[in-house]
Amino acid sequence: MPSKEVTSQAPKTKKNASAHPSGDKRFKVLDITMKRNQYRQDSLIEVLHKAQEAFGYLEEDVLLYVARGLKLPLSRVYGVATFYHLFTMKPSGAHTCVVCLGTACYVKGGGEIVKAVENELGISPGETTPDGQVSLMAARCIGACGIAPAAVFDGTVASKQTPEVVVKRLKEYQKTDAD
Ligand code: FES
């Protein structure tokens, strides 16, 4: 008689079932990338790359999320993120503006928004105004294509932006903080 196969397995726990508490859809993009790579630790660079595309830069919250997902020490993730030049850490400005340049947003004017900020504030993606008030970043799809062109101001996603609206807002940041 064939011996009874032991089939008792621990119930499969859903990896990363705990979505990011902020409900920010960009963390979903990270979940998908990590899952597609079967949470392999050697997919770290690819995952960080995706994170930078989605967020425009890497901040500690994001690094922590990736470290948990891939079960890596934060120090390792932080080390890789700071070692490679292709990664940008949280910009130094008092305010951050991430303009989405993914296909949907670009087609609807994302590129014009960046140009307007370059002209009016004199900074390109990756740069901070000399007064230290505004950092401009670019992202490639922040997971909100339905509200294109999208931008993220200090972590809050804003829909259907125009060059005028974005420039006005950024100039207000400069004014308010200079008062
Ligand atoms: S392309 Fe901008 S949110 Fe997807």
pLDDT at 23: 77
**Pocket of ligand 1, candidates 105, 159, 166: which has the most ligand atoms within 8 Å of its Cβ, to mutate?**
105
Question: How many Å apart are CA 80 and CA 115, to the nearest integer?
Answer: 31
- CATH domain 95-178 topology: Glutaredoxin (3.40.30)
Q: Helix, strand, or coil here: 103?
A: helix
pLDDT in tens, 48-98: 999 999 998 998 899 999 999 999 999 899 889 988 888 988 788 999 999
> How many Å apart are CA 24 and CA 113, to the nearest integer?
23
Q: Please tell me the predicted confidence (pLDDT) of residue 177.
A: 65
What does residue 121 show for φ and ψ, rounded to 5 degrees?
-110, -10
Mean pLDDT over residues 16-31, rounded? 77
How confident is the model over 117-142, as pLDDT tens digits? 999 999 999 899 999 999 999 988 88
105 lines ligand 1 (CB under 6 A): yes
Say which residue, 11 or 63, is predicted with more confidence: 63
Ligand 1 atom nearest residue 102's Cα: 1
For residues 24-51, give the mean pLDDT.
94
The pTM assigned to this predicted structure is 0.73
Residue 162 predicted with pLDDT over 60: yes
